[in-house]
Amino acid sequence: MNIYEECFSVGALLYCPANNSSIVDALVNNKLGNKFSVALCLEDSIADNTIFKAQQILINSVRKIFAESFRKNFFLPKIFIRVRNPEQITYLFNSLKEEREIISGFIFPKFSLDNADEYIKKVMEANEVAHKKIYMMPILESPSMINLSQRYNILYELKYKLDKVYDYVLNIRVGGNDLCNNFGFRRHSDQSIHKIAPIESIFSDIISVFGLTYVISGPVWEYYNGYNWLEGLKSELEDDKFCGFIGKTAIHPKQIPVINEAYMIIKKDFDDAKAILNWNKNKEELVCASVSHERMNEYKTHINWAEKIICLSNIYGIKS
What are residue 160's phi and psi, to 5 degrees?
-60, -40
**Smallest Cα–Cα separation from 254: which of 78, 30, 14?**
14
Give tens-digit pLDDT for 193-239.
999 999 999 999 999 999 999 999 999 999 999 999 999 999 999 99
Q: Do the beta carbons of residue 250 and residue 261 sit within 8 Å?
A: no
Q: Do the beta carbons of residue 270 and residue 313 sit within 8 Å?
A: yes
For position 126, what pLDDT does the model report?
Answer: 97
For position 281, what pLDDT does the model report?
Answer: 78
Percent of the chain with pLDDT over 90: 94
Using left for φ > 0, alpha for ψ between -120 and 50, and beta otherwise, residue 107 falls in: beta
For position 309, what pLDDT does the model report?
Answer: 97
Q: β-strands 78-82, 287-289: how paired?
A: unpaired
Beta bridge partners of 17: 41
Which long-range contacts (C-beta less than 8 Å, at least 24 apart) are formed by 88-94?
A: 88/42, 88/55, 89/119, 89/122, 89/123, 89/126, 90/122, 90/125, 90/126, 91/55, 92/55, 92/58, 92/59, 93/126, 93/130, 93/134
For residues 150-166, average pLDDT: 98
**Smallest Cα–Cα separation from 181: which of 152, 202, 151?**
202
Give tens-digit pLDDT for 289-309.
999 999 999 999 999 999 999
Round the average pLDDT of the chain to a whole number and report it.
Answer: 96
Query: What are the CA-CA distances from residue 20 to residues 15, 16, 39, 113 (Å)?
Result: 11, 7, 12, 31
Rounded Cα distance, 183 and 93, in Å: 36
Q: Which residues contact 189 (CB under 8 A, 6 or more apart)?
A: 223, 226, 227, 228, 229, 232
Q: What is the largest CA-CA distance in the chain?
A: 69
Does 130 have pLDDT greater than 80? yes
Does 243 have pLDDT greater than 90? yes
For position 280, what pLDDT does the model report?
Answer: 86
Give tens-digit pLDDT for 4-22.
789 999 999 999 999 999 9
For position 16, what pLDDT does the model report?
Answer: 97
pTM of the predicted model as reported, rounded to 2 decimal places: 0.96
Percent of the chain with pLDDT over 70: 100
For position 269, what pLDDT does the model report?
Answer: 97
Rounded Cα distance, 160 and 236, in Å: 30
Give tens-digit pLDDT for 48-80.
999 999 999 999 999 999 999 999 999 999 999
Does 1 have pLDDT greater than 90? no
For position 4, what pLDDT does the model report?
Answer: 78
pLDDT band at residue 44 using 50, 70 and 90 as cut-offs: confident
Using left for φ > 0, alpha for ψ between -120 and 50, and beta otherwise, residue 33 falls in: left
